[in-house]
Amino acid sequence: MSLSAAAPPMSLVRRYWRDRALWTTIADIFAILAALTLPWSTTLVAIFVPCWLGAVAWVMDWRVYGRLLKQPICYLPLALVGLSLIGTLWSDAAWGARLYAIAPTLKLLVLPGLFYHFQRSSRGMWVFVAFLVSCVLLMAVSWLVVMDPSLSLKTPDEPGGRGIFVKNYIDQSQEFALCAVALAYPIIRLLRTNRIWLALALGAISLGFVVNMAFVIVSRTAMVTIPIMLAVFALLHLKWRTSLLIFGGLAVMAGLAFATSPQLRQTTDAFVSDYHRYKNENLPTSVGLRLEYWSKSLRFLAEAPVIGNGTGSTLGLFKRAATGEDDRATAKVIGNPHNQTLAVAVQWGAAGIILLYAMWLVHLLLFRGDDLVSWIGLLVVVQNIFTSLFNSHIFDFHEGWMYVLGVGVAGGMMLAARQRNARAEPAGSS
């Protein structure tokens, strides 16, 4: 009797142990959780992504996955990781530093798996909605922190900590900028179909992100990249007359924001003052340090232009190049030159630059289309390219995972759409 009673549970285990639909759903849940927690936690993302990988790998068709790896959208990021591994052989850094420098590139290994999974899953848009909802909640908490700073998990004296609940103002501004501009596509589409109230609701959310960035968490990188992302949107999706009207309105809003936001004026004025203090007094200002890091990085590249100085060599190079007193810009030492191209070039030379730009290019070309998924994927790549002028955002945890999840999920959905179109064409021609 007990054996027969135990049989049904064992039968269920055998039935669902390799059930592809079940494990696809489980993987979807972990991907949604990763996107949902990305604005709030690094630890949870580091837990959910391996869980997602395990669920996908458990029922993966390895032959199909192998064919996918032959596409440049997959093998170029893998090649960049491979170069970081091989680059340890000619680096003069300690082995601990070499291995530590490999870690930021490893997230690129997840891209092919995301392409594979979301080419088959129908829940890719859920991942983006989860990220948007999470950012809206974070924006609400940010306003609460402005009113009551004691609610923040950050220390009160931390630079740029105003209105920051978790992480930092750079991460938060990247999230808000991406969401604010990404919503432009559905807003325009809803207006064209006379769904006014829903368009107004999304418009209010987008405006909320912009207002928060103007009055609470002003980021110089966001100030530069948001106009570029909007210009890309106007070029792809709007008529030139509409674009002129919108940009005219945005110019007026920007002027009002500048006139009424002390934080925005202070951030803008700091560009010029930081530069002069660096040039005239050798002070380690934000602008001055970046110029110092970039000029030294170009020297390091000139010393090893083809294959670079090796993985993990950056910190040692800056230590040897430091001059002057400790409180001067020329004495500062860093392991990250705050520019993605230079971060790659110093370690792996022209070979690394070619792989980096080739990866960006093929991912841009992946999102040729006139739909929401194409727009999201394109925007993620464009934002990463231009913010990487001022930071090493592929190597950074938060912005790097924004890129990997955004490109991977949207890219898989694009591959699925093209697969459906390819199957529909023979049927239509017959």
Residue 142: what pLDDT?
87
Residue 402: what pLDDT?
95
- Is the pTM above the cut of 0.85? yes
Residue 3: what pLDDT?
43
Letter string b/e over residues 9-22, b meaning 16 or more CB atoms within 10 A of that residue's CB = eeeeeeeeeeeeee
Q: Is residue 29 part of a domain?
A: yes
- Residues 115, 414: contact at Cβ < 8 Å? no
Q: What is the 3-state secondary structure (H, E, C) of the chain?
A: CHHHHHHHHHHHHHHHCCCHHHHHHHHHHHHHHHHHHCCCCHHHHHHHHHHHHHHHHHCCCHHHHHHHCCCHHHHHHHHHHHHHHHHHHCCCCCHHHHHHHHHHHHHHHHHHHHHHHHCCCCCHHHHHHHHHHHHHHHHHHHHHHHHCHHHCCCCCCCCCCCCCCCCCHHHHHHHHHHHHHHCHHHHHHHHHCCCHHHHHHHHHHHHHHHHHHHHCCCCHHHHHHHHHHHHHHHHHHCCHHHHHHHHHHHHHHHHHHHHHCHHHHHHHHHHHHHHHHHHHHCCCCHHHHHHHHHHHHHHHHHHCCCCCCCCCCHHHHHHHHCCCCCCCHHHCCCCCCCCHHHHHHHHHHHHHHHHHHHHHHHHHHHCCCCCHHHHHHHHHHHHHHHHCCCCCCCCCHHHHHHHHHHHHHHHHHHHHHHHHHHHHHHHHHC
Q: List per-residue pLDDT tens for the chain, 430 residues long.
A: 444 444 466 565 666 666 788 889 999 999 999 999 999 999 999 999 999 999 999 989 999 999 999 999 999 999 999 999 999 999 999 999 999 999 999 999 999 999 999 999 999 999 999 999 999 999 999 888 888 777 776 665 555 556 677 777 788 888 999 999 899 889 988 988 889 899 999 999 999 998 888 777 766 777 777 777 777 777 766 666 655 655 565 565 556 555 555 655 555 555 566 655 655 656 666 667 778 888 888 999 999 999 999 999 998 888 888 777 766 767 777 788 889 999 999 999 999 999 999 999 999 999 988 889 999 999 999 999 988 888 888 999 999 999 999 999 999 999 998 888 777 766 555 5
Dist. CA 400–CA 89, nearest whole Å? 25
- Residues 213, 258: contact at Cβ < 8 Å? no
Q: Is residue 427 part of a domain?
A: no
What is the count of structural domains for the chain?
Answer: 1
Dist. CA 290–CA 342, nearest whole Å? 11
Q: Is residue 123 part of a domain?
A: yes
Residue 216, token pair as written in the block: 């609470």
Q: Is residue 109 part of a domain?
A: yes
* Domain that includes residue 416, residue range: 12-420
Dist. CA 104–CA 83, nearest whole Å? 13
Q: Is residue 4 part of a domain?
A: no
Residue 400: what pLDDT?
94
Q: Is residue 2 part of a domain?
A: no
Residue 13: what pLDDT?
60
Q: Is residue 429 part of a domain?
A: no
Q: Is residue 374 part of a domain?
A: yes
